[in-house]
Each structure stands twice: as structure tokens, then as C-alpha cells.
Amino acid sequence: MSEPTNATEVERKLTVPTSFSLEDVVEPLSALGGLQRERVRKLVAVYYDTDDFRLARAHVTLRRRTGGTDSGWHLKLPPDGMNGDGRREVTLPLRAGRPGSVPSALANQIVAITGGAELRPLATQKTTRIPVTLLDARPDPS
């Protein structure tokens, strides 16, 4: 079985008006180098918790996501001495656990929160992402 990978995640969420369209920024950004549209990605994330939401109350997220460049199991833990500016994320590949069965390598890391209560799939989120890469106008130095 794969060993969990640890990383620090810093996430910024931005809000735009409902009238916003990516086309509104295409021309100004093209002066910087342009935009490259990527392949549309359809993601399915299944979120796990105990029946009484022990993980949610502890600000912990546990999910199994398919369809993107980071498909796999994701355990997101609260900030640890980082002034609330990031979360520790522990990941495993999809093969580490079957749908509906949380890998023990992740479940063992949160047993102090769950008290050993069963972790079950409680919510599913389906998302369509349309990634766009901002290109630099400078020539490639290589």
C-alpha cells in the first residue's frame, strides 16, 4: 500500500459578480501572454464523516475524489501553528481504498476525533471545472 503524502494547503477563495465572464478579462490578459484553455474536468467528490459529524465539528475534511489531476483520498486537517493560513493535507491514491471504505492509513490519523466511530459517505459533490492557464509573453529561456 502507498504511504500517505503530506503537504500544506493554502487556499484563497475569490468572489466575482454574477455578471462576470472569463471573456471580460481575455483581452487585458492577452497583453501578458494570453490564455490557454485546458480540457474540461468533471470531478466527483464523496465526503466521509461519522453519523454525528465529528469531523465537520473538528474542521476536518475527508473525501475521495475522482476525475481531476489530483484524484485520490484527501484528509484535510486544521492549521497547526500556521496562524490559520493553511491546512495540512494528507493524500493517498485511489487504489489505497475502495469507494465506501476509508483507508486505515487515514482513519488511524483521526481516531482521536472519531473515537473509532464508523466513517461513512455522507455527501457527494459533482463539479465541472474549466481550467485556464495564464501564459507568460516572455520567450522560453531554454
In this prediction, residue 112 carries a pLDDT of: 96
- The predicted-structure confidence for 42-64, as pLDDT tens digits, reads as follows 999 999 999 999 999 999 999 99
Evaluate whether residue 83 is within a structural domain.
yes
Q: Which residues contact 120 (CB under 8 A, 6 or more apart)?
A: 48, 49, 50, 51, 100
- Closest Cα to residue 29, out of 135, 140, 104? 135
Evaluate whether residue 140 is within a structural domain.
no
DSSP calls for 76-136: EE--SSSTTS-EEEEEE-GGGS-TTS--HHHHGGGHHHHTTPPPEEEEEEEEEE--EEEPP
What integer best gives the mean pLDDT of the chain? 86
Q: First vs last Cα of the chain: how many Å apart?
A: 39
| Full domain range(s) for residue 101 | 5-9+34-129
Evaluate whether residue 134 is within a structural domain.
no
Are 21 and 111 contacting, i.e. CB atoms less than 8 angstroms apart?
no
Max mean pLDDT among 20-34, 62-76, 79-93, 124-138 falls in 62-76
- Closest Cα to residue 44, out of 64, 60, 61? 64
> Residue 73 maps to which CATH number?
2.40.320.10
The total domain count for the chain is 1
Task: Report the SS3 class of residue 70.
Answer: coil
- Residue 61 phi, psi (nearest 5): -120, 135
The answer, yes or no, to whether residue 81 has pLDDT greater than 70, is no
Max mean pLDDT among 36-45, 93-102, 112-121 falls in 112-121
Evaluate whether residue 109 is within a structural domain.
yes
Evaluate whether residue 40 is within a structural domain.
yes
Higher pLDDT, 10 or 95: 95
Are 122 and 45 contacting, i.e. CB atoms less than 8 angstroms apart?
no
